[in-house]
Structure 1
Amino acid sequence: MASTNRPLLLQWTTAAPVAAFALLLATWKRDLPGPLVALVAVFLAAAVLAAVHHAEVVAHRVGEPYGSLVLAVAVTIIEVALIVTLMADGGDKSAGLARDTVFAAVMITCNGILGLSILVGALKYRVAVFNAEGTGAAFATIATLATLSMVLPTFTTSKPGPEFSPAQLVFAAAASIVLYGLFVATLTVRHREDFLPVTAAGDVLDTADHADPPSNRETATSLVLLALALISVVGLAKGISPTIEDGVAAAGLPASVVGVVIALLVLLPETIAAVRAAVRNEVQTSLNLALGSALASIGLTIPAVALASVWLEGPLLLGLGANHMVLLALTVAVGTLTVIPKRATPLQGGVHLALLAAYLELALVP
C-alpha cells in the first residue's frame, strides 16, 4: 500500500469523505438548483474515489477475500437503505424500483465489472486466470437467487401482475438470507482458498505488495472513512435523484432507467477497485468484488424490501419482463462457459460487455 508523509487530516482521501458528508447534511431533503447539483456530483465522484482508497487499505490489512467482502457488503447495505427510502417517498410510482435496481446491479456486476476486469487482465497478461471452484459457486448462487426472486413472480398466479403473495415473498426473503449466509461462510471460513487469486499454473498468487500492512489505528480510521464515503455517495445520489427522474421523464425514457442510474452510481467504487485489481493480475479479486456485490444486492435487498412492504403502501413488483429474462438466461449461460475453463481471453470479456450494452440499450429503448 502506498504511503504518504502528509498528516492524515491533510490527505485528500480524508478530506473528501468529510466534505461530502458535510455537503450531504447541508442539502438533505432540499430542492437542489442546477449549479448545486453540479457541485454535488463533483463531491460524489470524490467520495467514490476516496471509498476505493479506504477499501484497499482495509483489504491490505485483512487480506483476500475479506477485503472484497467488506466493500461489497458496505456498499449494498447503504444501497438497500437508499432503495427503501426512495420507495417510501415515491409511492406507487416506485413499485418496481427494487426490481429495477437489483436487476441493474446483477447485469452491471456479472457483465460489466466481470467483463471489464477480464478484458483488462487478458489484454495485459494475455489471459485472465481465476479459480473456477469459487467463481462457479458464486455464479450458481446468483443464478438461483435471481431466478427465485425476479423470474418466478412473473409466473405465479396467487396475485395478479408480477407480484409475490405474502407467503411467497417470505419464502424468497428467507431463501435469499440463507443462501447469502452460506456463500459468506464458504467465502470466509470453509473454502477461503477457492477465492484467492491464482497464477496461470494454478498456484495461489502472492498478493502481498511487500509494504508494511496498515496499523490497527489506520485500519479503523479507514473503516470509518469508508463508511462515511459510502453514506455520502448514496445520500448525495438520493439528493440528485429528483434531477435524474426529471431528466429521464423529460427525455421520454422509461422510469426503470432511474434504477439503472442509481445502480451505476452505487457500484462505481467496486468497478474502480475491480479494474485496479485486474491491472495487478488479481482477476480473482475482481470477480470476488463483482459477484460478491451481485449476491449482496439480491441477498440483502429482497429481505429488506419484503420487511419494508409491511408498512409501505402500494404493490411490490419483483417479476422481470420477457426481454430481461432472456438477458438473464443468456448471462447465466455465457457466464458458465466463461468460468469453466479457469481462464479467459479478451473475447470473453468483450462478450460480457456486449451483454451489458444490450441491457443498457433495451433500458433506454425497450
Structure 2
Amino acid sequence: MKTIVKILVGLLGLALFAGQAQAERIKDISTLQGVRSNQLAGYGIVVGLDGTGDQTTQTPFTVSSIISMLGQMGINIPAGTSLQLKNVAAVMVTADLPAFAKPGQNIDITVSSIGNAKSLRGGTLVMTPLKGADNQVYAMAQGNLLVAGAGASAGGSSVQVNQLGVGRVPAGATVERMVPTSLGQGGFINLELNSADFTTATRVVEAINRNFGPGTAVAVDGRQVRVAAPADNNQRVAFLSRVENLSVAPGEDIARVILNARTGSIVMNREVLLDTVAVAHGSLSVVISSEPLVSQPNALSQGQTVVSEQAQIEIKEKKGELVMLRAGATLGEVVKALNAVGATPQDLLAILQAIKAAGALKANLEII
C-alpha cells in the first residue's frame, strides 16, 4: 500500500508540475472553423492470405464479391459453382481525408475484417473506392497490409499476439477528389475552442488584440472567437500563422472526478479540493459453505441411502476506524487523505460519492 501511495504521489507531482507550465499556443487549444477532416469508408477484398481467409460457407458475401470482381475482369463463373476460398477475406476500409487534401496525395488507411478470417497477415488489398457521407468517391485504396501481430495453431492449440484481424497500409490510398475548404467567411475567421470556457475565450481575444490592434478579435460566446482577417488568401494564411502561434494562459479547469464503475478506476484533475471530513470504512463479508452428508444403512437393514446438505453461514465484519481527512489544497494532499482510509479502488467509488454528498468534495463526480 505504501508503495502505491509513493507512486501516486510521484505521478501527481509530475502532473502538477505540468499543470504549472507556461501558456499554451492558440493552435493547441482551438481549431479553425471549417478546417476539418472527413471520414471515408469502403468495402473491399484482401487476397493472398496463407489459408487464413474467410470460411466461404459462413460468409456468402465474400464469394459474391469475388464473383462480381472476376465478372468485371471478363471471367465468368458458371452458375452453381461452389467456390471454396481460403486465401480471401472481406474487409472494411476506413480513412480520414485531411483538410486541404488535393488529388494525387496519399493518405493512410485501416483495413478491418468483417468476416471470420483468422488473420489478414500477408494479404493484399485489391483496389477499393472510398466514399464519403455524400456517397461520392474521394479516394482509391490498394496495397499490402501491415499487421502488427502474429499467430500460429496446431493440434487444437493456438498462440496469438495482438490483433490479427486489423491492418494498416501507410499511404495506401490516393485522393481523387478534394473537399472545398474556405478559410473563414468574408472578412472574418472563427476560432473554436476545444473546451468551452469564457475565461479562455477572453484571454484569446486579449492576446490577439494586443498583437494586431483593438477590435481585431471579438468573443462570440464561451467557445467561438471571431477574428477580422485580410481578404487576400496569401495574406490570410500568413495572418493565421501568426495568430495560431500566440501564447495564451488557458482558464482553470473545472474540478472533476471521473469514476469508472466497471474497472474501479478513479481519475482526478488538479483542481479537486477536499474539506475536512471524518470517514469510517469497514467491510462486511458473508461466507456460505455447503457440505454433503451421506447416510448409508446397514447391509441387511433394507434401508435407503440418504444424501443431505449441511449449510454453514458465517458473517464477518471488519472493524472500521474513524479517520479524519484534513482539508487538502492540492491534488497530492487529497490522494494522501483518501489513501489514509485504506480502502480499495472499488471501495473508494462509494466513499467519494458519500464525501460528495456530505459537501466535503469540491468537484463534479462523473460516472462512466
| TM-score, structure 2 normalization | 0.21
Structure having the higher helix fraction is 1
Structure having the higher strand fraction is 2
Higher Cα radius of gyration: 2
| TM-score, structure 1 normalization | 0.21
